[in-house]
Amino acid sequence: MSGTLQAILFDCDGVLAETERDGHRIAYNKAFEAKGLDIRWDALIYSDLVRISGGKERMRHYFEQNSGHLAEDHFNEALIQELYQIKTEYFKDILRRGILPCREGISRIIAQAHSDSTLLFVCSTSHKESVETLIASNMGQEYLGYFTDLLCGDIVPHKKPAADIYLLAKEKYGLNPKKCVVIEDSRNGLLAAKGAGMNCLVTPSFYTQNEDFSEADAIISTLGDDTTPAKLIRVPTAWKNISRIGAKDLNRIISKPT
């Protein structure tokens, strides 16, 4: 039926949880320390690096811009890969300790969508094991079974803002992009979603709150819960006075006039 939501596609970092500042950043620093590197990414340094999609890409960029931190013969792909694996293990440990909870309304909307037989995806540059750990630790192991697929890591040639990851979901599962809603927190993610012809709801995160989201179909502070209502920044008219965005509300995005 033409106004029925077919799929919700979530970014991970900054969307499912506020993972960047007190999760990934801390894990990178622990990995640098474990390898004896005199490098520490503070919150300000990381605010620039977070605009680069992909952890290995962030490290490559940083080392290229700060070559004095490494002897030239040590700057190679093997080191990048090793640091990334060490960092991933530290990050999963942070997640298992439960100190990076899901953002407001995330568990609720996933459960609602699953109950409605809406397809669910995570489309992220994050390591798949990290995404699985985040979901299982914060929502429960059963939530992993709610997702049709977790499309993560280096599975497409180009990362966001390229549309590759969303085009992969579309082609692999026969999705109608006009009946899909992507939930993103960054301009890179928004551009990727729109490049795939999909609708995009933006919930800005700590590092992305001042980015340009002018192409978004809706912008809200969070999905909202009982203690933290959603702040409606730019939304469909039918969402007026809604404090918690549910799976069925997303139909108002795909049913908007063209």
pLDDT tens track for 76-117: 889 899 999 999 999 999 999 999 999 999 999 999 999 999
- The amino acid at 237: T
Neighbours of 252 (CB within 10 A): 20
pLDDT of residue 66: 82
pTM of the predicted structure, to 2 decimals:
0.92
Task: For the chain, give every residue range classified as CATH 1.10.150.240.
Answer: 20-96
- At residue 241, the pLDDT reads 86
User: How many Å apart are CA 166 and CA 162, to the nearest integer?
Assistant: 9
Residues with a catalytic annotation lie at 11, 13
Predicted confidence at residue 5, as pLDDT, reads 96
> Regarding the domain delimited by 20-96, which CATH topology (the fold level of the hierarchy) does it fall under?
DNA polymerase; domain 1 (1.10.150)
Instruction: Region of 105 please: left (phi>0), alpha (psi -120 to 50) or beta.
Output: left
Residues of the chain with pLDDT under 70: 1-3, 68-75, 256-258
Residue 240 is predicted with a pLDDT of 86
Predicted confidence at residue 73, as pLDDT, reads 55
Q: For residue 24, give the nearest of 210, 213, 207 by alpha carbon.
A: 207
Distance of CA 116 to the CA centre of its chain: 23
- What is 7-18+102-254's CATH number, 3.30.930.10, 3.90.1150.10, 3.40.50.1000, 3.30.2020.10? 3.40.50.1000
Enumerate the CATH 3.40.50.1000 domain ranges in the chain, comma separated: 7-18+102-254
- Residue with tokens 């409606």, as numbered in its chain: 232
